[in-house]
């Protein structure tokens, strides 16, 4: 079963061909990061303009790289949300046109589920159930994956997503966009115990996250230094901030795994590329006999292959869409 997958939720134009949800025949990712860096963040209108200029080129590259033609495609998978409305609309319009032209089904995919499924591509024998921590620029979720396409939500962010907090702190530290990877890199050189930033665990039984207080305390700390005319040690602050975020995420992930008696924790989303997170999870995993899995760096970023994988599991579960489907910029996950 072959799907052509299209992902345009933010600033990556990506198309790919995926076989049976696991085997990636192609995964073309055209990043606009250089264009948006100049503006200090993603500009939605510019992102949409780049998507429409490039979409059919990327689709063709994906088919060519997979050595298949349109006639070989069984169904189309496309990101329905969440994401930037104008950006999503380009991918969805293109997907509908192709599905109608080929007279094949179309499957609207939740981008968050796509991030989880990136792990099915990476780890060929990974099967549910497992505990999954999903962290990206706009989202933080803690879920129990009961089966393919069957999830139970335990925690989500009450304010800023982790990735968002990373980006805002990075900006305050004067680091270029995107800030997450910059903080991760700097944290390697800094002392994570240099500054004692708060760990926000919320109620003792809660799996939810809250990062806005932590973000504020970093900003306050920087302000205090400024008033005292002291130069901030950027590496130490990055390391201390990152540790404060990761301590909470790691602790809650392991608590959930324990509650559901899972021996696997899977990390998904853009922040799954964070070296500090991977290392801390793996160390704790060794102590507690829990396997830690995450995708390659390329599969952590927004990409079409993960949408194709999620599309497949939706498709075989009978969850197809129709041509009336609309984009859902604020689509949550299991909310």
Q: Which residues bind Zn ion (CB under 5 A)?
A: 136, 302
DSSP state of 321: B
| Total interface residues for another protein by CB under 8 A | 37
Select from another protein, Zn ion, none the partner in contact with residue 46, using the beta carbon and a kind-dependent cut-off of 5 to 8 Å: another protein
If the CB atoms of residues 61 and 291 are measured against another protein, the closer one turns out to be 61
Q: What angle do CA 253, 164, 79 make, to 5 degrees?
A: 85
Binding site partner of 302, from another protein, Zn ion, none, Cβ cut-off 5-8 A by kind: Zn ion
C-beta of residue 241 within 8 angstroms of C-beta of residue 108: no
Q: Would you say 269 and 10 are in contact if contact means Cβ atoms under 8 Å apart?
A: no
Residue among 184 and 302 whose Cβ is closer to Zn ion: 302
User: According to the binding rule CB under 8 A, does residue 259 interact with another protein?
Assistant: no
Residue of 17, 29, 55, 304 that binds another protein (CB under 8 A): 55
136 binds, among another protein, Zn ion, none (CB under 5 to 8 A by kind): Zn ion
Strand ranges for the chain from DSSP E: 2-7, 12-19, 23-31, 75-81, 106-110, 130-135, 140-147, 150-156, 264-268, 291-293
- Size of the chain, expressed as the number of residues it contains: 335
Tokens 């780890």 -> residue: 123
Q: Which span (39-47, 115-123, 142-150, 312-320) binds another protein, by CB under 8 A?
A: 39-47
Which residue's CB is nearer to another protein, number 167 or number 236? 167
Q: Is the CB of residue 294 less than 8 Å from the CB of residue 280?
A: no
State residue 287 phi and psi, 5-degree precision.
-65, -35
Interface pick for another protein out of 318, 324, 330, 335 (rule CB under 8 A):
324
Which of 53, 72, 150, 189 binds another protein (CB under 8 A)? It is: 53
* Token couple for 289: 């006999």
Confirm or reject binding of residue 101 to another protein (CB under 8 A): yes
What residue 168 binds from another protein, Zn ion, none (CB within 5 to 8 A, per partner kind)?
none
Question: What whole-number distance in Å separates Cα of residue 1 and Cα of residue 12?
Answer: 25
Task: Please answer whether residues 275 and 248 qualify as being in contact, where contact means their C-beta atoms are separated by less than 8 angstroms.
Answer: no
Would you say 195 and 187 are in contact if contact means Cβ atoms under 8 Å apart?
Answer: no
Residues at the site binding another protein, with contacts judged by CB under 8 A: 38-39, 43, 45-46, 48-49, 51-53, 55-57, 59-60, 70, 85-86, 89-98, 100-102, 322-327
């Amino acid at each position: 079963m072959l799907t052509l997958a299209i992902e345009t939720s933010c600033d990556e134009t990506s198309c790919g061909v995926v076989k049976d949800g696991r085997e990636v025949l192609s995964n073309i990712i055209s990043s606009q990061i250089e264009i948006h860096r100049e503006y200090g963040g993603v500009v939605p209108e510019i992102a949409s303009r780049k998507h429409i200029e490039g979409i059919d080129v990327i689709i063709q590259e994906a088919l060519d790289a997979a050595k298949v033609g349109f006639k070989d495609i069984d169904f189309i998978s496309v990101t329905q949300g969440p994401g930037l409305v104008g950006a999503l609309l380009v991918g969805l319009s293109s997907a509908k046109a192709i599905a109608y032209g080929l007279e094949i089904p179309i499957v609207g995919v939740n981008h968050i589920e796509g991030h989880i499924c990136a792990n099915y591509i990476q780890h060929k024998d990974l099967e549910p159930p497992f505990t999954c921590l999903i962290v990206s620029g706009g989202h933080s979720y803690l879920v129990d994956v009961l089966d393919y396409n069957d999830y139970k939500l335990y925690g989500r962010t009450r304010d800023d997503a982790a990735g968002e907090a990373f980006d805002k702190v990075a900006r305050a530290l004067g680091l270029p966009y995107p800030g997450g990877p910059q903080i991760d890199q700097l944290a390697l050189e800094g002392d994570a115990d240099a500054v004692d930033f708060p760990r926000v665990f919320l109620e003792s039984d809660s799996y939810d996250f809250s990062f806005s207080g932590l973000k504020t305390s970093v900003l306050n700390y920087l302000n205090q230094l400024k008033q005292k005319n002291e130069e901030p040690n950027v590496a130490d602050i990055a390391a201390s901030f990152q540790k404060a975020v990761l301590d909470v995420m790691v602790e809650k992930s392991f608590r959930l795994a324990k509650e559901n008696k899972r021996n696997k924790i899977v990390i998904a989303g853009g922040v799954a590329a964070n070296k500090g997170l991977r290392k801390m999870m793996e160390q704790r995993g060794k102590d507690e006999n829990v396997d830690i899995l995450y995708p390659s760096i390329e599969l952590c970023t927004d990409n079409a292959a993960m949408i194709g994988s999620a599309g497949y599991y939706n498709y075989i579960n009978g969850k197809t869409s129709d041509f009336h489907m609309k984009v859902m910029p604020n689509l949550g996950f299991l909310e």
